[in-house]
Amino acid sequence: EVQLVESGGGLVQPGRSLRLSCAASGFTFDDYAMHWVRQAPGKGLEWVSGISWNSGNTGYADSVKGRFTISRDTAKNSLYLQMNRLRAEDTALYFCARDMGPDLYYYYMDVWGKGTTVTVSS
């Protein structure tokens, strides 16, 4: 079964850091680009970051650029999001999603995890 499982969310103080993980299974992880998408409480979807199949191409939303870093580990079939200098407005449910292709071109997300919740509050 094709599956994505996020972990690493939690309650964190403003200015601190958090690292999200996404474990992929049931498909050849190397063949696909991957994304992080978040959804603040009661709000719509916001694309956060994406990474190509070989990590050669990455992208970030302006709202997180310079604070968040996306990475992937082929050996562990895992995607990561290192989140630094967190702000209250980063509070959201963070989804990991698989792209239908290998590169950051089409941004079609055909497999989604259930998400992990990040709450930034003092």
Q: For binding to another protein (CB under 8 A), which residues are involved?
A: 35, 37, 44-47, 50, 59-62, 95, 100, 104-110, 112-115
d(CA 44, CA 41): 8
* 3 vs 121, beta carbon nearer another protein: 3
| Beta carbon of residue 81, minimum distance to another protein (angstroms, whole number) | 14
| Beta carbon of residue 112, minimum distance to another protein (angstroms, whole number) | 4
Q: Taking a C-beta distance cutoff of 8 angstroms, is the pair 6, 98 a contact?
A: no
* 1 vs 75, beta carbon nearer another protein: 1
Q: Which residues contact 9 (CB under 8 A, 6 or more apart)?
A: 18, 20, 94, 116, 117, 118, 119
| Beta carbon of residue 107, minimum distance to another protein (angstroms, whole number) | 4
Closest CA to 29 of 71, 70, 79, 103: 79
* 14 vs 103, beta carbon nearer another protein: 103
